[in-house]
Structure 1
């Protein structure tokens, strides 16, 4: 269901997470600075909005900063978000590295750290989560000014992105192809038992898409985000909310079969998927077959950015293949923006090829106002999205959460 512009998805009651997210977003962006402006922007009764604003004030998320100018009646009480009102911990887990950081109640990300993790090596989830737990403890101690971390860790929640399909209800990886030993492991429960706070577990592409959507300097209602690196990931955001589909797999067009893929085997078990010809790993394979001394996507990108003819041609062709499949998505979904992230998006021929295919292959109506841009949040997109996702859960609670 697509909701009318300006109205939040959900039932609009105080405590509704969609209502909370919209209130926080409107105050954060400056689009609304008072209860009256919030009620007008949300299309809800002033009493409904006022109840939720008061809950957010009690939580230490929002504060009143004084009275604004009168417009013929009582002067409105101005509102702003509290940067020191609380925070959540976030992590974006990859095959060999993980990034972790802190997101405050305004949505601002800080204290980002990157650590090696043994996900792809098959060491299992507990070893990785133990490493992340140590990083989280350090982040909390730093936030507390060097004090020892205590039970509850001083954070209000944890958001974690995993590089594979996720069962949202069980909060675990669901048959991931690149995460040996993780299938069905209760990641959310493990973190909650250790830290005692609300925990959200989500697919990394979905959180990347959400992070890019909320970070864009040009706000849109609907967007598609593509991360083109060693692999290809993608996510869809509708009215500011991640669209997951019936089984949580919506938006992942990287495994669409394409003629140019032929019989090349894919990690998903099929052959000829887009990822087999348009990902960084695919370009490494082609260059190695041609006798070039390359071992990873970063080397391919360096070659293309330095003007190597063979690498540049391959990157441009990969962009063309991705753009062809993306045309179907854009024609069907009609997003306001397509954000391109990942290492390959740093190479201009790749971006130009994607853009060219979209303008050539899409109906003019869906491209006349379409924003096609490099991702602005970059490597932090997943962390920003994880922060927004867990904050939506934390801020939806009707009673104050523990913020130490």
Structure 2
């Protein structure tokens, strides 16, 4: 994972001069996925062959772009595709929990290079947490060795988020953090763009990116201690006007004796099917349980009470998702979170209720599956968001200005 030898010293001055003019070229390459040909780049940027060659040379000399080893047919001579060099810079990502934060340094692919679990206390406040985060990032970068250019940062929070302001918004477990400018704090510390996002949205991005083929319209539902969802429409994450989209856990189903939700309302989907609600119901039946993990442990041990509750949770999820399917018409639904460990026992009743409640046009090709949680899901999802900030159409020029200054200081 070491940097190429060409970055041991600053590139020649002509290459540096051309570097900041290459923003449109770099943006096209960064968003191309598997790679892009020179011909396609020329068409997308409207640059002459000579100008394009100069800007590609600057990007390659700087270690930001590389040419693929294998050639692909092009109608004439085989051509090699150009892609972002994953070792050209790093991304810093953090996944904040209730008692620990998981920190990582990733390359630009993004692949986790180093990670660390750091304890913290919500009650100590956001600034204390950010200081611990920065110290952790410092250790991880030191462990990697060498000079590393930080392209962007991504922060995952277990709370509603105003992603434009980079702040916690509304009631959450991060009590007292609402007015603290997390994004601004990190930008001031690192001089790099910062993506601040809700954890379920980042899980949705992670699951969406690893599906093959990747659906344009996708719904991820986290069923753990709480319930939330992430929505991808036309290939892009949908946050809503204030970042509150996907709050499926508090869709209400009013009926006689509807259970009380921890939000204070009655009949919420969460109050019927979240891990905390199933643990409540299991305890009421004489099998002590505190959370979703305890429910799954009882389920895997073959306890019929736990198995019945998982079946009921699947049916409740089917009712809630029936409304979502009618509104969004997704091509794929993935159920994640701790309760997803139940697999088909949870997913089969969801499919059955959707089949009964939704129009055949919406369900005939709808795939519903379970994906047990991955520890790095939020980290990698945050890295995708951070990379999009750094290399999007509005971020690439600023990235190259910072990168050029970093090279000149080498």
Bucket of the pairwise TM-score, normalised by the shorter protein: 0.7 to 0.9
Shift in Å, 1:181:
1.1
Aligned residue for 2:282, secondary structure, equals: helix
Q: Tell me which residue corresponds to 2:66.
A: 63
Aligned residue for 2:376, secondary structure, equals: helix
Which of the two has higher C-alpha Rg?
A: 2
Q: Tell me which residue corresponds to 1:209.
A: 204
Aligned residue for 1:159, secondary structure, equals: strand
Distance across 1 between alignment mates of 2:109 and 2:320:
36
Distance 1:216 1:376, change over 3 A: farther
- Which deviations, in whole Å up to 9, do the C-alpha atoms of 1:202-238 show, x marking residues without a partner? 1111111111111223311121111110011211012
Aligned counterpart in structure 1 of residue 165 of structure 2, from 170, 186, 199: 170
Shift in Å, 1:364:
1.6
Q: Tell me which residue corresponds to 1:90.
A: 93
Shift in Å, 1:103:
2.2
Shift in Å, 1:376:
7.2
Does 1:395 find its partner at 2:395? no
Q: Tell me which residue corresponds to 2:281.
A: 286
1:5-404 to 2 correspondences below 5 Å:
20=27, 23-24=29-30, 26-28=32-34, 32-36=35-39, 45=44, 47=46, 54=56, 57=60, 60-65=63-68, 68=71, 71-73=74-76, 76-119=79-122, 122-144=123-145, 154-259=149-254, 262-348=257-343, 349-375=345-371, 378-396=374-392, 397-398=396-397, 399-400=399-400, 401-402=402-403
Shift in Å, 1:82:
1.6
C-alpha RMSD of the superposition: 3.0
Distance across 2 between alignment mates of 1:289 and 1:267:
17
- Which deviations, in whole Å up to 9, do the C-alpha atoms of 1:61-89 show, x marking residues without a partner? 42124784664546534223322111101
Distance 1:326 1:91, change over 3 A: same
User: Does structure 1 retain, via aligned residues, the 8 Å contact 2:152–2:387?
Assistant: yes
- Which deviations, in whole Å up to 9, do the C-alpha atoms of 1:80-132 show, x marking residues without a partner? 3322111101111122332221221122233233333323xx33212322222
Aligned residue for 2:295, secondary structure, equals: helix
Aligned residue for 1:181, secondary structure, equals: coil
Aligned residue for 1:160, secondary structure, equals: strand
290-299 vs 226-235, which moves further: 290-299
Shift in Å, 1:158:
1.0
| TM-score between both structures, scaled by the size of structure 1 | 0.83
Distance across 2 between alignment mates of 1:113 and 1:98:
8
Shift in Å, 1:25:
5.1
Aligned residue for 1:233, secondary structure, equals: strand
Gaps spanning 5+ residues in structure 1: where? 1-13, 148-152
Aligned residue for 1:294, secondary structure, equals: coil
